[in-house]
Amino acid sequence: MADFNNRYPENVSGRFYVDDQCIDCDLCRETAPANFKRNDDEGRSFVYKQPATIEEVELCQQALEGCPVEAIGDSGIQE
């Protein structure tokens, strides 16, 4: 399970985040490309845009549920 305290600093503030368990598998970027990007220097994903629509929320939730190492978290906080 993702740990809010171990989230990457690149994540924008808001509900979804990626923590230090990320293995750069690309699943989140394929599932929700409007919300996740890759840090090429570090080889990891992060949330660069919080979901703005119901569809984007659903795609982020799918990415969270599909993450093989549970590196995606949902704080439940809407900022």
Please state the domain extents for the chain.
4-74
- Residue 79, pLDDT > 70, answer no
The vertex-40 CA angle with 38 and 45, nearest 5°, equals 25
Residue with tokens 């305290």: 5
Question: Per-residue confidence at 78, pLDDT binned at 50, 70, 90?
Answer: low
Give yes or no for residue 58 having a pLDDT over 90.
yes
Domain 4-74 falls under CATH 3.40.50.10860: no
Yes or no: say if 76 and 51 are a contact pair by the CB < 8 Å rule.
no
Distance CA 48, CA 55 (A): 17
Residue with tokens 């368990």: 21
pLDDT in tens, 7-43: 999 999 999 999 999 999 999 999 999 999 999 999 9
pTM, rounded to two decimals: 0.94
Give the pLDDT mean for 49-76: 97
Instruction: For residue 55, give both structure tokens.
Output: 């569809």
Rounded distance between C-alpha atoms, residue 34 and residue 42, angstroms: 20
